[in-house]
Amino acid sequence: MPSKMRAGIVGVGVGIPEQVLTNHDLERRLDTSDEWIVTRTGIRERRIAPPHVATSDLAAQAAMQALRNAGKTPDEVDLIMVATATPDMPWPATACLVQAKIGASHAAAFDLNAVCSGFVYALWVAAQAVETGAYRCVLVIGADILSRQLNWEDRSTCVLFGDGAGAAVLVPVEEPYGVLSGVLGADGTGAPLLQVPAGGTREPITPEVLAQKRHTVYMRGREVFKFAVTIMGEVSLQALEKAGIPPEEVSLFIPHQANIRIIQAAAERLNLPMERVFVNLERYGNTSAASIPIALYEAWEGGRLRKGDVVVVVGFGAGLTWGACVLRWAY
């Protein structure tokens, strides 16, 4: 009997702006300190996209690198999903702009918005598309330029985020490799905890909206923190149970890079030592949907992912949303 086909990641790539903004740079323009930011979050610096760069530019760069690493060409791609909360424009989808930029002329293309959980949402949806045989080469991209949606006078939010993109190429692979399980969730009653209130149909942009900066990120940080500390561990355990894998078999845990204290709490819940947890938030801050694919790329590039390793990716974000996938690394 032929073995079951799953969706496996066979190439990863990144698009990361060069400009670095350190905590010390922020100290010079805000009432904050490197010490406060590092102790509360773990973040030391973040990348900021220059004004002429849009989300699709970073996404296309990540996509091309992921395709090269997968040994695939753009015309082999049949589906592009871009997880983003900061599209180039309200419409068309950033995924269509990426499709044109990389010349993936045979690909369908759409965006998915689950904010910081976006990559995990897209990965799990894309895995179904590949497993059913409907698509054979899917580009899953997480890309955000949060720096354009921040109120740079609000120290409680602007120090947390950074810009970037990461991409993964998904193709059919034979068992036991590939995406083994996924769990996604949402609680829309938590929408007010973390949002960009204006700029959509509820509150279109007006001079008043701009003056009050309601087109920027609003966050009730402490409440988001409480939610995140619980959900990251819980959803990871649910996804592991669905895959039939005990937590002690996890080779590498790759959480959304928002806050080191949230990551440590999740690792504790799984009883995982920090050596098996990937952390790069000190260099990038929270890059929203890009944080997990950037981490995947750096883990792979740094030799921390080997074929057969059990990997858990887990995210949480505005919505509220959350999700985790368990993978057996396929390349």
Catalytic residues: 116, 256, 286
> Are 217 and 197 spatial neighbours (Cβ–Cβ below 8 Å)?
no
Given 5, 38, 40, 203, the residue binding ligand ACO (CB under 6 A): 40
The answer to whether the beta carbons of residues 13 and 69 sit under 8 Å apart is yes
CA 294/CA 317 separation, integer angstroms: 17
How far apart are the C-alpha atoms of 254 and 236, rounded to whole Å? 10
Closest distance to ligand ACO from the beta carbon of 320 (Å):
8
Token readout for 210 is: 């701009």
Using CB under 6 A, pick the residue from 81, 126, 235, 258 that binds ligand ACO.
258
295 binds ligand ACO per the rule CB under 6 A: no
Rg (C-alpha) for the chain, rounded Å, is 19
- Smallest distance from the beta carbon of 78 to ligand ACO, in angstroms? 29
What is residue 203's DSSP assignment?
S
The answer, yes or no, to whether the previous bond of 176 is cis (omega within 30 of 0) is: yes
Q: What 3-state DSSP class applies to 295?
A: helix
Q: Which helix (H) or strand (E) holds 256?
A: none
Answer whether 236's CB lies under 8 Å from 263's CB.
Answer: no
Which of 115, 125, 198, 313 is the binder for ligand ACO (CB under 6 A)? 115
Quick check: 263 binds ligand ACO (CB under 6 A)? no
Q: How far apart are CA 327 and CA 307, in angstroms?
A: 11
194 binds ligand ACO (CB under 6 A): yes
Q: Could you tell me the smallest distance in angstroms from the CB atom of residue 90 to ligand ACO?
A: 19
* Listed ranges 7-15, 37-45, 68-76, 170-178: which one lies at the site for ligand ACO (CB under 6 A): 37-45
CB of 162 to ligand ACO, least distance (A): 11
Q: What is the SS3 assignment for 158?
A: helix
- Residue 149 or 212 having the CB closest to ligand ACO: 149
Q: Is 317 in the site for ligand ACO (CB under 6 A)?
A: yes
Report the Cα 149 to chain-centroid distance in Å: 17
Subset of 219-238 contacting ligand ACO (CB under 6 A): 219, 221-222, 224-225, 228
- Shortest-Cβ-distance residue relative to ligand ACO: 317
| Candidate residues 139, 198, 288, 300; the one interacting with ligand ACO per rule CB under 6 A | 288
Can you give the binding site for ligand ACO, defined by CB under 6 A?
Answer: 32, 36-37, 40-41, 115-116, 155-156, 159, 194, 219, 221-222, 224-225, 228, 258-259, 286, 288, 317-318
